[in-house]
Structure 1
């Protein structure tokens, strides 16, 4: 069996690693010109299902390395004012495993065949039931299955399920990261909490590695090369629905909303990494009507992009990877035909994927200042 994976995000790479470990050929095609074309180094919280799916797709020999480069998530989930005074609670404390996306992506890339600059332009199902993917540049690729793991703007989804389009929630946010120095360690009660300002909310999360990733790889898995990253604070400022951001830098955009805030909070943003901050919109993709059975399917944000306030986007993509891997192993070992295996995956994925999107949207108002119910705007 041969599988083509469109998209070198966490979900697609996790699937490719899992298939590789099971002896199934998998090639990854990424539209970016280079793996490092976009920095993707923000802290993620993995729940037990997401973390176990990840472990299940990785070689056993890398499990000690994975355990060494993650951290522990904890926090009171308070609501604080801009002077760090407690004014409420968000809900029960959240626990889990925290991981840096940039570090995890480098681990998942190890040993895989990844073709960069491979923007998919379309595909066709051949007479023999296989699928041929076409790219803007380069030769086409023929496989038994094409997996669209190419994100919220999925080119695979545009062909497979053109009626499924992203919806813009209207919410905008600024995200960045700052080294976790001694000064910012004093903000620990704000990690996992919401700081409620005038028309904005600031969310902070600490990424504390059990072992610095580069050192952990050198000690535990020399064949893996991981970035030299140290502990940091991930910060995200959420604006009200319909808010806009001008052409200023993300740091300046955040600071412009923080007049009179606690000096440590302003310093945190001022000392942020300018190369790892961005102005983003929150869009979702809701899985609706299933497409006709065939040798093409979707995974992760391509089919169920969630609001980050749900904390389940990466977890659901990793769960997809683990489930599709198991289904394809059944097909490769003759317990199921390929279309039946893909159908089993899609039935389960549609159910929990739709629930993940609903959960993330239900959680959004708690983090959005002055949020008022409004219909999501569809966009292409």
Structure 2
């Protein structure tokens, strides 16, 4: 069996790793001109299902390394005012597994065949049931299954399910990261909490490593090269719906809304790495009607993009990868045919994927009143 995976995000890479471990040929095609063409290094919290999924997709020999580069999350989820006074609670404390996206992505990339600068322009199901994927600047690729793991603007979804389209909630957010130094020791109670004022919400999350990732890889899995990064604070400011920041930088967009805020909060934004700060929109994709059965399917944000306020997007994509891996292994072993395996994957994925989107949107108004909910 040959599988073409379009998109080198966490879900697509986890699937490719899981298939590789089962002896199934998997090639990854990424539209970016290089693996590190875009910064993708923010802190994530995986739920138990998502962490177990990525663990199961990785070779067992890397499990000690995976365990070393993650930490457990447990926060009170307070609501604070701009001067860091407690004014409420968001609810039960959130638990999960904290991981740096960039570090996890490099682990998942190890040993895979990844073709960069491979923007998909279309595909065709051939008479023999295989799929020919076409790209703008490389030769076509033929496989038994094409998996669109290419995000919210999925080119694969545009052909497979053109009526399934992203919805812009109107909400924008600024995200960045700042080295975690003693200067910010006084912000510890704000990590995992929501700071609200002047129509915006600021969310902070500390990324602390047990062992620096590169050192952990050198000791536990020398064939793996991980980024050389230290502890940091991931911050995200959710702006009022339909606001149009005209600021010259993402940091300025945040700072312009922080007059009178606690000086340590302002300093946190001022000390941020400008190359890892950006302004993004919150768009969601809700799974619609099922498409006709065939050797093409979707995974992750390509079919169920969630609001980041749900904290479940990465976990759901990794769950997809593990489920599809299981189904394809059954097909490879002759326990079901390929189309039956894909159908079983889609049946389950549509159900929990729709619930993940619904759950994330349910939480959005608490951070951005007036958001457009599909």
Root mean square deviation of aligned Cα = 0.8
Secondary structure in 2 aligned to 1:102? helix
Task: Tell me the distance in 2 between the aligned counterparts of 1:153 and 1:36.
Answer: 19
Helix, strand or coil: the match of 2:98?
A: strand
Corresponding position: 1:328 with 2:367: no
SS where residue 186 of structure 1 aligns? helix
Counterpart residue number, 2:297? 297
CA distance in 2, matches of 1:295, 1:289: 17
Partner of residue 156, structure 1: 156
* Match of residue 142 from structure 1: 142
Change (3 A) 1:180 1:375: closer
Pair 329,243 (structure 1): closer, same or farther in 2 beyond 3 Å: same
Distance 1:339 1:185 in 2: 54
* 2:4 alignment partner in structure 1: 4
Superposed displacement of residue 247, structure 1 = 4.3
Alignment partners' CA distance in 2, 1:229 and 1:355? 35
| Structure 1 equivalent of residue 19 of structure 2 | 19
**Runs of 5+ in structure 1 lacking a partner?**
none
**Superposition pairs of residues 15-164 of structure 1, within 5 angstroms:** 15-164=15-164
Flag structure 2 segments of 5+ consecutive residues without an equivalent. none
The 2-side partners of 1:44 and 1:244 are apart by 27
Counterparts in 2 of 1:373 and 1:213: CA distance versus 1, 3 Å: closer
Report how many aligned residue pairs link the two structures: 374
Report the Cα distance in structure 1 between the residues aligned to 2:99 and 2:29, rounded to whole angstroms. 24
2:338 pairs with 1:338? yes
Q: What's the secondary structure of 2:272's corresponding residue?
A: coil
Q: Does 1:372 align with 2:370?
A: yes
User: How far apart are 1:374 and its partner, in Å?
Assistant: 3.7
Contact 1:122 1:155 in 2 (8 A): yes
**TM-score for the superposition, normalised by structure 2:** 0.99
Q: Shift of the alpha carbon at 1:373? A: 5.8
Residue 361, structure 1, aligned to residue 357, structure 2: no
Task: Give the C-alpha shift of residue 375 in structure 1.
Answer: 4.7
Provide the residue aligned with 1:267 in structure 2. Answer: 267
Q: How does 1:202-351 map to 2 (within 5 A)?
A: 202-351=202-351
Q: Do the aligned partners of 1:245 and 1:279 also contact (CA within 8 Å) in 2? A: no
Give, in whole Å, the separation in 2 of the partners of 1:375 and 1:188. 33
SS in 1 for 2:275: helix
Measure the CA separation in 2 of the matches of 1:343 and 1:247. Answer: 47
Larger deviation: 41-50 or 240-249? 240-249
Using structure 1 for the length normalisation, give the TM-score.
0.97
SS of aligned partner of 2:206: strand
**Off by >3 Å, runs of 4+ in structure 1:** 373-376
**Distance in 1 separating the partners of 2:7 and 2:245:** 28
